């Protein structure tokens, strides 16, 4: 009796695999688009606005991932650590944001899509226990969609 129930279940399972309307797996599975919102951070050496090699790599990888996409908007926010005075930190965070925006423009991204801002050390609020180097960064938010 168990064998006949098992056999009947197997026949139903196999029959379900040949459901009309689906010829192969690619009819069901679609590759996700790379053209979506992205967020990444670029870190800097203390007191510097010059891009490091890892920063250039992060920018290059993101630019390559979104190469076939329509870039609608890019928000670049420069931040600085709490070392130094507020005016110096604001200037430094502005230079960091501009450096990242220029690198992305150099990678072929449309300049009018950029919103470049700086928050100095006031925007670089770190969680308890986070070291100052984590605050020396530029945050990049990208709104990208597939080209039409």
pLDDT in tens, 18-56: 555 556 666 555 566 789 898 999 999 989 999 999 999
- Looking at residue 18, what is its pLDDT? 53
Q: What is the model's pLDDT at position 88?
A: 92
What is the rounded distance in angstroms from the CA atom of residue 79 to the CA atom of residue 5?
67
Q: Does residue 59 have a pLDDT over 70?
A: yes
pLDDT in tens, 68-102: 899 999 999 999 888 888 899 999 999 999 999 99
122 or 10, which is more confident? 122
Q: What angle (nearest 5°) sits at the alpha carbon of residue 62, between those of residues 61 and 64?
A: 65
33-146: CATH, from 1.10.150.80, 3.30.1330.60, 3.40.50.300, 3.40.50.720: 3.30.1330.60
> For a pLDDT cut of 90, what percent of the chain falls above it?
41
DSSP designation for 133: G
**Domain boundary assignment for the chain:** 33-146
Q: Which residues contact 148 (CB under 8 A, 6 or more apart)?
A: 70
Cβ 66 vs Cβ 126: under 8 Å:
no
User: Counting beta carbons within 10 angstroms of the beta carbon of residue 27, is it exposed (0 to 12), middle (13 to 18) or buried (19 or more)?
Assistant: exposed
């Amino acid at each position: 009796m168990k064998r006949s129930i098992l056999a009947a279940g197997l026949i139903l399972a196999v029959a379900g695999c040949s459901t009309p309307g689906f010829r192969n797996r690619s009819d069901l599975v679609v590759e996700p688009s790379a053209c979506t919102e992205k967020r990444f951070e670029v870190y800097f050496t203390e007191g510097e606005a010059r891009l490091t090699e890892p920063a250039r790599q992060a920018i290059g990888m993101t630019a390559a991932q979104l190469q076939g996409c329509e870039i609608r908007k890019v928000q670049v926010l420069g931040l600085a650590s709490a070392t130094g005075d507020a005016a110096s930190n604001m200037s430094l965070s502005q230079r960091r944001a501009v450096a990242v925006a220029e690198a992305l423009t150099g990678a072929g991204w449309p300049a009018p899509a950029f919103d470049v801002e700086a928050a100095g050390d006031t925007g670089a609020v770190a969680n308890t226990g986070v070291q100052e180097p984590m605050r020396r960064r530029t945050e990049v938010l990208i709104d990208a969609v597939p080209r039409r």
